[in-house]
A and B are shown apart, each in its own frame.
Chain A
Amino acid sequence: MPVNRDFIGRQYPASTTYQVGREHVRSFARAIGDTNPASHDVEAARALGHPDVVAPPTFLTVVNFSFATEGPVADPALGLDYSMVVHGEQSFELHRPVHAGDELSSVQSITDIRDAGRNELVVTTTEIADAAGGRVATLRSTLVSRGTAAPRAAAVPEES
């Protein structure tokens, strides 16, 4: 079943903020085999001028998932079957590093839904800001919904 194109342009501000925890930065770093001391050891991070442990560049995916239940992907009306979804593209623009102690807000938008052959592409943009309102990061994500594109319009039947 095709994804509901009415969702293009909709914005989903998260209802609460996301608190970046020191242990979460560490466990995320461990899960990706990242042994960089600045992501584990507060003193090592401070030696580089950071206030606390530094999140690896892809850490903010965690924030996206923490708000997933109130985002568009979880809305049944979007019609996206998550088991048919694979990730197509991902970008992180980090306007500043993310540290333990950051309190982040998030606004996710659906910027595009379009066909790509038999698949559909759902493009989302997430703007992450800190407690002071400063821009932290912009995430762009393209999800591929496999095989859900509407069949090509059949030839219009001739009037009889």
Chain B
Amino acid sequence: MVQADVGTVLPARTFPITRADLVRYCGASGDLNVIHWNQRVAQAVGLTDVIAHGMLTMALAGTLVTDWAGDPGAVESFTVRFSRPVVVPDDDAGASLLVSGVVEEVREDGRAVVALTSTVDGAKVLMAARAVVRLS
């Protein structure tokens, strides 16, 4: 069982996101939208470059919560707003996603609300990211 108090900090983590990660996520998720793997098309539709799947960014941030909770099945709700695209350059470093989390609320029904902050180069890429975790 996870001990949580308001203000409990989930250890921050940095996730590199490379083109290879996008290809892997395309395959695993079934989301083959060309803007996630084809620079030519991405730029033709007005994007700077290939962008990461919002769902990949969300899932990476989610691992902070599931690792903290221990049991992935304890996550009862997970919501995000995608505030800016994560551009993934065609190099070995890719993009660098920094995710941190804090327990914002502990409810009487034994649930904790975790607020996540996710940035790339200092700019928020997820807004209003919240997960509800059953504590016992």
What CA separation (Å) do A82 and B63 show in the bound complex?
28
Q: Please tell me which one of the listed residues A28, A58, A65, A68 contacts residue B78 in the complex, with CB atoms under 8 A apart.
A: A58
* A93/B77 in contact, CB under 8 A: yes
> Which residues of chain B are near A28, meaning CB under 8 Å?
28-29
Decide: A36 near B33, CB < 8 A? Known: A57-B75, A57-B78, A58-B62.
Answer: no
What CA separation (Å) do A24 and B27 show in the bound complex?
10
Decide: A66 near B66, CB < 8 A? Known: A58-B58, A86-B54, A87-B55.
Answer: no
Q: Please tell me which one of the listed residues B65, B79, B82 contacts residue A87 in the complex, with CB atoms under 8 A apart.
A: B82
| Consensus secondary structure, chain A interface | mixed
Decide: A93 near B76, CB < 8 A? Known: A32-B59, A83-B45.
Answer: yes
* A89/B66 in contact, CB under 8 A: no
Q: Please tell me which one of the listed residues B73, B79, B131 contacts residue A50 in the complex, with CB atoms under 8 A apart.
A: B73
Q: Please tell me which one of the listed residues A34, A38, A88, A89 contacts residue B59 in the complex, with CB atoms under 8 A apart.
A: A34
> Which residues of chain A are near B51, meaning CB under 8 Å?
86
Say whether B60 faces chain A, with CB atoms less than 8 Å apart: yes
Which bucket holds chain A's interface residue count?
35 or more
Which bucket holds chain B's interface residue count?
35 or more
Say whether A92 faces chain B, with CB atoms less than 8 Å apart: yes
Distance in Å from the Cβ of B110 to the closest Cβ of chain A? 16
* B81/A89 in contact, CB under 8 A: yes
* A88/B31 in contact, CB under 8 A: no
Closest-by-CB residue of B relative to A96 is: B73
Residue contacts A-B, CB under 8 angstroms, 30 given: A31-B25, A31-B29, A32-B62, A32-B63, A36-B63, A36-B66, A39-B66, A54-B71, A57-B75, A58-B58, A58-B59, A58-B62, A61-B55, A65-B30, A82-B33, A83-B33, A83-B34, A85-B33, A86-B35, A87-B54, A87-B82, A89-B82, A90-B54, A90-B55, A90-B82, A91-B78, A94-B76, A146-B45, A146-B46, A147-B46
Extra contacts, 8 of them, besides A32-B59, A82-B33, A97-B72 (Cβ < 8 A), are A27-B28, A32-B62, A57-B78, A58-B59, A65-B30, A83-B35, A83-B41, A89-B82
